[in-house]
């Protein structure tokens, strides 16, 4: 059974507030998308380099104060 990120696949929304100023954080997408110029177009198995993975890590950014953080989202079976 294949596992996918619920946020990347539009099955759930990611909502969080900035711990510094309280504004909503913007989801910058999966951190793997920042690895290289073609990484947003690669499948998740290629980015994991053969290692099993259970989470998709997303970059969260605050447009107000510039704070950024990461959120590890559990992959779900589909």
User: Backbone phi, then psi, for 10, in 5-degree steps?
Assistant: 70, 20
For 21, 38, 45, 75, the CA distances from 54, given in Å and listed in that order, are 31, 22, 12, 6
**pLDDT value of position 55:** 87
Q: What is the pLDDT of residue 6?
A: 95
Helix (H) or strand (E) holding 69: strand 68-74
Q: Where in the sequence is the domain holding 49, given as residue range(s)?
A: 3-77
Q: In the prediction, which pLDDT does 28 show?
A: 94
Higher-scoring residue by pLDDT: 68, 32: 68
pLDDT tens digits for range 8-65 = 999 999 999 999 999 999 999 988 887 766 655 556 554 444 445 788 889 999 999 9
Domain tally, the chain: 1
């Amino acid at each position: 059974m294949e596992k996918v990120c619920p946020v990347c696949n539009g099955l759930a929304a990611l909502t969080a507030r900035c711990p510094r100023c309280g504004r909503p954080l913007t989801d910058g997408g999966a951190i793997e998308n920042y690895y290289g110029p073609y990484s947003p177009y690669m499948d998740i198995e290629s980015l994991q380099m053969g290692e099993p993975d259970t989470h998709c890590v997303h970059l969260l950014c605050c447009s107000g104060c510039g704070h950024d953080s990461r959120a590890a989202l559990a992959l779900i079976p589909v």
